[in-house]
Amino acid sequence: MAVDALMNLRALSAGARTSSGGSAAPFDLLTGTSRVVPLWMRFVVTTATTSSGSGAATFEVQHSDASGSGSTTLSSGAANALTLSTTDQTALIWIPFMTSKRYIREYCTLSGTGASVTYKADVTVTKDGA
């Protein structure tokens, strides 16, 4: 599932997360997105686990009119939430979105004892690079 470099608009974040949060620097869309064809946010999860028991990792796209604050959920990957356990797992999650707001960012909500996830998120023009 390679994404053509010409179709990948911007990598938003990469790294490990042990608490809920999103990218510090949002992606500036300037004028929002098309009202007809969505953009896609791709989450590539390379590790997801808890230290004990179960937990969850839910990914979402947030948007705002301001660069630094006021982000709200635009599109959630709740249907694709990862159920975490002590067994490590990987995942590929695609979330389509359209917005009239200027800024977007990725956000991950974590729950569970010692929940940890390592992922990267990017914005693409098409799903699966098709």
Q: List the CATH number of the domain containing 109.
A: 2.60.120.1110
pLDDT at 87: 95
Is residue 6 a part of any domain in this protein? no
Is residue 63 a part of any domain in this protein? yes
Is residue 29 a part of any domain in this protein? yes
pTM: 0.86
Q: Which domain holds residue 48?
A: 18-129
Q: What's the total number of domains in the chain? A: 1
Q: Three-class SS string for the chain?
A: CCCCCCCEEEEEEEEEECCCEECCCCEECCCCCCCCCCEEEEEEEEEEECCCCCEEEEEEEEEECCCCCCCEEEEECHHHCEEECCCCEEEEEEEEECCCCCEEEEEEEEECCCCEEEEEEEEECCHHHC
Given a cut of 70, the residues of the chain with pLDDT beneath it are: 1-9, 13, 129-130
